[in-house]
Amino acid sequence: MKTIIKKINNIQSDRDIIEEAGKILKKGGLVAFPTETVYGLGADALNEQAAEKIYAAKGRPSDNPLIVHIAGMEDLPRIAEIIPEEAKIVAEKFWPGPLTMIFDKTGIVPYETTGGLNTVAVRMPSSDIARELIRAGGGFIAAPSANTSGRPSPTMAQHVEEDLNGKIDMILDGGTVEIGVESTILDMTVTPPMLLRPGAVTKEMLEELIGPIAVDAASISADSSKPPKAPGMKYRHYAPKADLSIVEGPVELVIEAINGMAAERIAQGYKVGIIGTEESRDRYRQGIVKSIGTREDEATIASHLYAILREFDHEEVDYIYSESFARGGIGNAIMNRLLKAAGHHVINI
């Protein structure tokens, strides 16, 4: 299959491209598109064959449910059976935006989309391109991250091309995404609501609005005995090819420890990558050093995380040592993804 790749700068002047992409979706095809979190791989969520194509293109296990993206609140009751009052309050504040909520599904949502579950995950993205495309494609677009299963999520169109060129109908290139980690997932079918995946909408922000929420233990710890409630969270995601270790402790000691380990590996003939920050990058003496962002603005760290993991794949490093980051706010999402990428390999200093 030849994948059409089109740049989109502006939803007004590029109207015809969005219409073309919408037609592909309505016919059951696959279109990758930017959202504010990561690029999504879209298909008509109400068409079971289209949903099945997503699993094939990504190499994704079919028990891993898809998020249905909508463009307006009026579309929610068509796919969600019960909409609790708290969900309306949360939607009012955080939709459109980087938040997914889980509801009991209605009959029109096929089990191919929900991975066999009776619940459906729903998100209304804030990206204009995404919302226009959802409308042009019929209003209900299933979209997992547009990467091959197991690779870091794509934050720019080139990442999508690397993984899916020749396997999907179209890629809309809207530049680099804003946030860089996937949406927060909140399960509204349980009381209290439960956070299944941390993201840019934090637990604190949700609790301020609706009071205490529960947290799926499997989303924060490696050794939880229970399987995660979001089926996708059980797979080893976001994995770079190199052996990635997170070094945790006071920053000064971490820098020294990473310098020591890097020197040792390099002396053994290995290629080493280091993930530091704007503050620490000049303190590393050897290896390929990349700054992930600044500790003064953690959003910069979230936005570069996946791109850096992909860059180290291209540079074919054998070992990656990463600094560890603060866990509050969006730091929870950063550490959740980094720990998964590292297979929970943490060196405590």
Q: Which two tokens stand for residue 15?
A: 């109207």
The nearer residue to Mg ion, 144 or 287, going by C-beta atoms, is 144
349 binds, among Mg ion, ligand TXA, none (CB under 5 to 8 A by kind): none
CB of 200 to ligand TXA, least distance (A): 9
Write down the residue that tokens 């504040």 correspond to.
93
CB of 40 to ligand TXA, least distance (A): 3
Beta partners for residue 214, in sequence order? 194
Instruction: Find the helix or strand (DSSP H, E) in which 122 lies.
Output: strand 119-123
CB of 257 to ligand TXA, least distance (A): 33
Residue of this chain nearest to ligand TXA (CB atom): 232
Q: Confirm if 154 and 306 have CB atoms less than 8 A apart.
A: yes
CB of 336 to ligand TXA, least distance (A): 11
- Tell me what percent of the chain is helix, strand and coil, each rounded to the nearest 5: 35, 20, 45
The nearer residue to ligand TXA, 229 or 265, going by C-beta atoms, is 229
Nearest to 28 by CA among 39, 44, 11, 4: 44
Could you give the angle at which helices 298-314 and 157-164 cross, rounded to 10 degrees?
Answer: 40
Footprint (CB under 5 A) of Mg ion, residues 95-154: 145
184 binds, among ligand TXA, Mg ion, none (CB under 5 to 8 A by kind): none
121 binds, among ligand TXA, Mg ion, none (CB under 5 to 8 A by kind): ligand TXA
The nearer residue to ligand TXA, 213 or 254, going by C-beta atoms, is 213
159 binds, among ligand TXA, Mg ion, none (CB under 5 to 8 A by kind): none
Task: Tell whether residue 47 is a contact of Mg ion (CB under 5 A).
Answer: no
Task: Tell whether residue 336 is a contact of Mg ion (CB under 5 A).
Answer: no
What single string gives the DSSP state of each residue in 161-201? HHHHTTTSSEEEE--S-SS-SPPEEEETTSSS-EEEE--SS
